[in-house]
């Protein structure tokens, strides 16, 4: 099931539980604005190349829109729409004053030189600079983009509007980026997992954990869970998968990954087929890679008691049903991976104040937000007698609906 269908389905279920008026329900789904621009740049060899850039701004009832910019050859408009909508609910669940957006450029960053990427980013910014802004829409990095991309957007935007560090988040530290931003999503996953286990009278120490995906989120989650005494028994990335039932030595693995660009060939564990990792024996499964990895085909084989969704929509709705019948507790993505956007909010706040925080303050504030977020989701579960996913969706949708009505926007 594609992302848009799944997101719309969850939204409609939440709207029904909340008893939303059908006109309001319809207006909450329609994006505020969809932007599509042509970006033509000279390549290094002098030839011209044209790319399509876009930005979907979903909702701004609760504040400026917020969401990533991805550079990827197959940018599917449906998926981007779903991700923009997901950001609206995610920021509302985290209780930060933002709405949702998402965007990107249809290109393959691996086939472009650094100077071509810079020209492309600057042309894209020129085309959308009057539609984004500190109090309108604040982009961030996503697949195929990073702090350098944000630095180019900031510089180009500032040519039109004066120095504006708060126009993007995920910037390099030297240009007003926040300490702790790099680890934020992974650290949020740790805090979310602790909150959930605490509810079940457990702690991370001694839990057997599997992490699928070893990019930024997966590797930070692994490191932080390992430091807390969690036993990471299997890890996979695009190069392969490894397992060690006595626990993988994470600092050692991080060194290996840095030198070999992947987990493949790591000597501190046995090599296994990447697809079988989800069915390995563990207490906690953390999908931290792509969407749709847990589906009807493999849901029955999952042995984990808890699934923490560090990736966006890793679990298909069909798998959701199978797993809940088995008694598996799923902590949904719109809460579990909101650490990144929460620290992006802290970065924006620091830029607006012109006063930067130390890393300890960033991490403590994140813990406060994640812990409170879990409590709020649990309250919605009790009110509406539903699972954690619906608890999170009803919480997010309700906050956006209330803001919409208070502003007098409902049809």
Q: Which residues are catalytic?
A: 102
Whole-angstrom distance, CA of residue 99 vs CA of residue 172: 24
Closest by CA to 225, choosing from 207, 198, 252, 238, is 207
Closest by CA to 68, choosing from 153, 8, 192, is 153
Whole-angstrom distance, CA of residue 287 vs CA of residue 310: 6
- Cβ neighbours for 352, distance < 8 A, ≥ 6 positions apart: 134, 166
Whole-angstrom distance, CA of residue 288 vs CA of residue 236: 10
């Amino acid at each position: 099931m594609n992302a848009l269908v799944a997101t719309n389905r969850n939204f409609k279920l939440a709207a029904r539980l909340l008893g939303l008026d059908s006109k309001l329900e319809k207006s909450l789904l329609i994006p505020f604005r969809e932007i599509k621009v042509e970006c033509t740049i000279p390549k290094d060899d002098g030839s011209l190349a044209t790319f399509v850039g876009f930005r979907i701004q979903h909702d701004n009832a609760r504040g400026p829109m917020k969401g990533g910019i991805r550079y990827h050859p197959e940018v599917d408009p449906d998926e981007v729409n779903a991700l923009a909508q997901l950001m609206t609910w995610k920021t509302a669940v985290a209780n930060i004053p933002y709405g949702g957006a998402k965007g990107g450029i249809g290109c393959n960053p691996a086939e472009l030189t650094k100077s071509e990427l810079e020209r492309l980013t600057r042309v894209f910014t020129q085309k959308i600079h009057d539609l984004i802004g500190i109090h309108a829409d604040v982009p961030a990095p996503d697949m195929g983009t990073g702090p350098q991309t944000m630095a180019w957007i900031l510089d180009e935007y500032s040519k039109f509007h004066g120095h504006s560090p708060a126009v993007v988040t995920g910037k390099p530290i030297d240009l007003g980026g926040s300490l702790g931003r790099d680890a934020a999503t992974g650290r949020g996953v740790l805090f979310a997992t602790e909150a959930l286990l605490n509810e079940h009278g457990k702690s991370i120490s001694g839990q057997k954990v599997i992490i699928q995906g070893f990019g930024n989120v997966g590797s930070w989650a692994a490191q932080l869970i390992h430091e807390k005494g969690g036993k990471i028994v299997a890890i996979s990335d695009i190069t392969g998968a490894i397992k060690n039932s006595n626990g993988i030595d994470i600092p050692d693995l991080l060194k290996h990954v840095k030198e070999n660009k992947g987990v493949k060939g790591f000597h501190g564990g046995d090599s296994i087929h990447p697809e079988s990792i989800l069915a390995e024996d563990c207490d906690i499964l953390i999908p931290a890679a792509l969407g749709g990895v847990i589906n009807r085909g493999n849901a029955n084989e999952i042995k984990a008691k808890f699934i923490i969704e560090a990736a966006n929509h890793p679990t298909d709705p069909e798998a959701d049903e199978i797993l809940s019948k088995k008694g598996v507790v799923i902590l949904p993505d719109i809460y579990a991976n909101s650490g990144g956007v929460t620290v992006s909010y802290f970065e924006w706040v620091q830029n607006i104040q012109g006063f930067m925080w130390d890393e300890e303050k960033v991490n403590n504030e994140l813990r406060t937000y994640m812990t409170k977020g879990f409590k709020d989701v649990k309250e919605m579960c009790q009110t509406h007698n539903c699972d954690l996913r619906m608890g999170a969706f009803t919480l997010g949708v309700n906050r956006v609906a209330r803001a919409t009505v208070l502003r007098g926007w409902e049809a």
